Amino acid sequence: MKNKLKRQECVENLNWERVHDVMYYLNWTWAYKGIPSIQQLKAEAKRLLKVAHDGATEERVDYHAATGGLFARAGFNPNKGKVDYYQIFFALDEWSSND
């Protein structure tokens, strides 16, 4: 499957109604725009996935882009020399630690 189709598959399969419902319930707004519509969420997801793809392709490493609760990742496969997976999700909370 071509990369653009893989990115489209991510956008088509995320449960945008659930994301929008959570944002509405929490009154989660985007700067100066209020609570985004499902169409706005999808448009931003497409943009973030493209940014992640371009970054992974240029840097030849896994790359992510995030804003407004949306998180997009492009996984670079060094053995194939190309991006071979994409991920999009909506994050409410996260914590990590490194040594």
- Residue 73, number of CB atoms within 10 A of its CB: 21
One DSSP character per residue, 74-97 reads: EEEETTTTEEEEEEEEE-S-----
Residues 24-81 pLDDT 10s:
999 999 988 899 999 999 999 999 999 999 999 999 999 999 999 999 999 999 999 9
pLDDT of residue 32: 81
Tokens of 48: 């973030």
Domain ranges across the chain: 3-90
Q: Is the pLDDT of residue 1 over 90?
A: no
CA dist list (Å): 52 to 25, 34, 45, 57, 75: 29, 25, 10, 8, 9
Contact assessment for residue 70 and residue 41, using Cβ atoms and an 8 Å cutoff: yes
